[in-house]
Amino acid sequence: MLSALTSFRRFARLSLAEAEGRLRVLAGRPPRFCGAWPNRAAALAAVPKGKLPGYDHEDIAEISFQAMCRVMPWDYPVLFWLQRDWRTGLKVLDAGGHMGTKYIAFDRVLPVGQAEWTVLDLPGIVAAARARQARGALPAALRFVTTPAEAGAADVFLASGLLQYLDVPLSDLLSQLPAPPRRIILNKVATRDGPTVVTLEQIGAARVPYQIRNRETFEAELQTLGYTLMDSWEIPELSHTIGTHPRLGPSTSRGYVLERGD
Ligand SMILES: C[S@@+](CC[C@H](N)C(=O)[O-])C[C@H]1O[C@@H](n2cnc3c(N)ncnc32)[C@H](O)[C@@H]1O
């Protein structure tokens, strides 16, 4: 007798990996990355009923918080460039900084307390961060804002793990800042060689659009910003395959450092 998986594969003409991914969805155990759409709007429209759409929910703020507060191997290029700019009073805008995870992680290796460190994040995450801070469970020096305009002028714009989730082009976000930062550090940018794909990442009860950008288009966008590319790297450990669409191939995670001339 054919197994359910074999029958399903034959019926749907799927590869083994695809069939497994899709059966997990049907069984209510979706893989971390599920589905593939050409843009965020289409991915959001596909969020199953009963699941929270997107990242902007106080309820999911604690998920992976402790894990994100560790220094990871792919943080070291970021630390290298931060250290080159380091001075007392350095203004860092940590966009997509969650509840200050990188400030907490980097405290082990950089005197972060000497900087003016502002986290820009979504209202749900910032509400959770402020509640934590009010009960003394986050450093009092961390400042949280929900709009680029509130952030004030920054020397360094850090976006670590933001770009996958960002709902506007990077250039739009930068143009909303009160002044252009001298340094831009981007880390964990998900890219691929084919067309941009948006999948849904499972984060607790939330299904969060996760954008894997076409590399060439993204790097062309970087060239329009008026900055010089100083450094870039790949992070093999953060390459992901969409469980339901393995034929799209693995993503490549990248970091970039840009500097604005005077
Ligand atoms: C995976 S976390 C990254 C945390 C940390 N920076 C790190 O590198 O580990 C992504 C963060 O981006 C935030 N985010 C998503 N869209 C955003 C937006 N439009 N503006 C600001 N933050 C956003 C999410 O709320 C979340 O806190």
- Ligand 1 site residues (CB inside 6 A) read 55, 68, 95-98, 101-102, 120-122, 125, 160-162, 165-167
| Cα of 97 from ligand 1 centre, angstroms | 6
186 exposed, middle or buried (CB, 10 Å; 0-12, 13-18, 19+)? buried
One-letter amino acid at 98 equals H
Domain identity same for 127 and 14: no
Task: Give the domain extent around 22.
Answer: 1-30
Domain identity same for 10 and 132: no
Res 261: pLDDT: 85
Question: By alpha-carbon position, which residue is closest to atom 14 of ligand 1?
Answer: 96
**pTM, full prediction:** 0.92
Domain identity same for 172 and 247: yes
Domain identity same for 103 and 227: yes
44 exposed, middle or buried (CB, 10 Å; 0-12, 13-18, 19+)? middle
Question: By alpha-carbon position, which residue is closest to atom 11 of ligand 1?
Answer: 96
Q: Please give the sequence-ordered ranges of beta strands (E in DSSP) within 39-101, or none if there are none.
A: 52-53, 91-95
The pLDDT profile of the chain, 262 residues, written as one tens digit per residue, is 446 556 556 656 667 666 666 666 666 667 999 999 999 999 999 999 999 999 999 999 999 999 999 999 999 999 999 999 999 999 999 999 999 999 999 999 999 999 999 999 999 999 999 999 999 999 999 999 999 999 999 999 999 999 999 999 999 999 999 999 999 999 999 999 999 999 999 999 999 999 999 999 999 999 999 999 999 999 999 999 999 999 999 999 999 999 998 7
Domain identity same for 136 and 205: yes
Domain identity same for 6 and 50: no
Query: Tokens 């059966």, residue?
Result: 23
Residue burial 199-231, b: 16+ Cβ < 10 Å; e: rest: bbbbbeebbbbbbbbebeebbeebeebebeeee
Domain identity same for 100 and 209: yes
Domain identity same for 136 and 23: no
Domain count, the chain: 2
| Contacts within 8 Å (CB) and 24+ apart, 25-28 | 25/244
The CATH number of residue 100's host domain is 3.40.50.150
Residue of 103, 162, 202 to test ligand 1 pocket, by largest number of atoms within 8 Å of CB: 162
